[in-house]
Amino acid sequence: MKVLFDTNVVLDVLLDREPFSKEALYLLSEVERGEITGYLCARTVTTIFYLLSKALGTAEARRHTKSLLSLFIVAPVSRVVLENAINLDFRDFEDAVIHEAALHAGANYIVTRNVSDFKSTKLPVYKPDELVAIIKILRGE
């Protein structure tokens, strides 16, 4: 299962944002165990570093970002990704970029808390709790 993680899901774990952190942590632990191949859009990495540095300081932001880079595959943002994204019928260009980066990287799914932002997608998009439920069903739990 190849899943691109939206920025909000990763931040839910790193900033312990209740009540969302439980499912997000479960999914990140699946990446850590190798049960999910996790992807992050290149733009997500820079956004996370910026927000963490504001919330936790530069040293902590650097530490967390290094950890993410060791766990996740980075989905590049190329000219083709940007050109495809600008032509999509998305309200938010950043979400369109995330969608196109996921497609070009070969992800099968996107996980986000903002499913409504991804209405015009070519990939299935799930909320963290929905993806956790799917994983548990597939395992027979």
Quick one: average pLDDT of 86-101?
93
Cα→Cα distances 131→2, 45, 77, 106, 139, Å: 12, 22, 25, 18, 12
Quick one: average pLDDT of 48-52?
96
Is the pLDDT assigned to residue 89 strictly greater than 90? Answer: no
In total, the chain counts a number of residues equal to 141
**pLDDT: which is higher, 89 or 110:** 110
The 10s digit of each residue's pLDDT in 6-28 is 999 999 999 999 999 999 999 99
Is the pLDDT assigned to residue 119 strictly greater than 90? Answer: no
Q: Which residues have C-beta within 8 Å of that of residue 93, sequence separation ≥ 6?
A: 85, 86
Largest separation between any pair of C-alpha atoms in the chain: 42
pLDDT cut 70: percent of the chain above it: 100
- Would you give the DSSP letter of residue 115? G
Per the prediction, the chain carries an average pLDDT of 95
| pLDDT at position 127 | 97
Cα→Cα distances 49→42, 55, 60, Å: 11, 10, 9
| Count: domains in the chain | 1
Quick one: average pLDDT of 89-94?
91
Listed residue (84, 108, 92, 137) closest to 5, CA to CA: 108
Is the pLDDT assigned to residue 128 strictly greater than 90? Answer: yes
- Give the C-alpha separation, 58 to 30, whole Å: 27
Specify the CATH number for the domain of residue 7: 3.40.50.1010
Tell me if the pTM is above 0.75: yes
- Give the C-alpha separation, 62 to 77, whole Å: 21
Q: Domain limits at 71?
A: 2-139
Is the pLDDT assigned to residue 122 strictly greater than 90? Answer: no
